[in-house]
Structure 1
Amino acid sequence: MISETTIERTLARLENASEDYETEIRDFAESQPELMEYLTNEDVEAFTERERELLLFAALVIFQSVEDEKSGVPEVSGEQIAAAEESNYETMGEAKGSFRDRLNPFFEQSREEDLLAFVEDLLLAEDGEDEISREAREPFFVTLKTVIDTLT
């Protein structure tokens, strides 16, 4: 399980290294080309520009946190991504209640609770700047849950 400490350390490092951000993204794309394609394909065009930026940033935090704790993460395939995404949409579709309630099955079924909590915090941020629209919450969560599933 990826620890909250690792996630916070990664998040702090990326937030304070704005000049290296493009290099970090390029390194991510080189080591996980299929995952980067998934994160930048036409399906994410429904997101606003800010939501796409936040999605990529969150995926980078997840990737680097996993890399910090599990060196040598294998390259993810398109088949792995498709299978994980389908499973996540099925779970989301079966869940009932408010958006937060619909996330409960994911927490119950995952060993990566801290990574999921990081994603949940992004989705339900109250500060306004990083807010994700209500319409984008479900696909945003499923996309990042798919990243978590394929990397761990």
Structure 2
Amino acid sequence: MTFLSKLNIVKNAPQELKGKLEGIALHRKQLIEKLEEQGKMFSALIIESKPEYKRIRNKKGGGTKEQKVSPWYYNVAGMFYLAPKMGRTEIDLGGRVGAAKDAFLPALNNLVEAVRAGEIDKQITDAHTKDSATRGKKPAAAAGGDSKKKK
């Protein structure tokens, strides 16, 4: 019996599918990290009235930069609402549901678990696609703007 006949050969997934699975796993990980940051900020809000939270990120040149983190939650009449984002685009979770101050952190933890389980992968992908499509694009020039040149 040869060595190759002892191996279990499994058909490999197409390359484009591999990249997509790695992409959504990366987006999930990034979203979970950001949601956990939001949880820390909200915990600080309970203790303080105005929390300051900064993230240290690496710049391309090798240095580091402090970056202020904006809250994804807001308070309306004592109810807290969450607007999670992928890049600059808000992730649609199917409507606005608020939670009282004491129930907000458990709701946020439930959302983190849903992201880990892959329950909102479609919404993450949609938001990422929408953000990628608008990133770096400039508004179109006004029609006929160049025709009025002075002679």
Which bracket does the TM-score occupy, shorter chain normalised? Answer: under 0.3
Structure having the higher Rg: 2
TM value normalised by structure 2: 0.25
- The structure in which a higher percent of residues are helix is 1
- The structure in which a higher percent of residues are strand is 2
TM value normalised by structure 1: 0.25
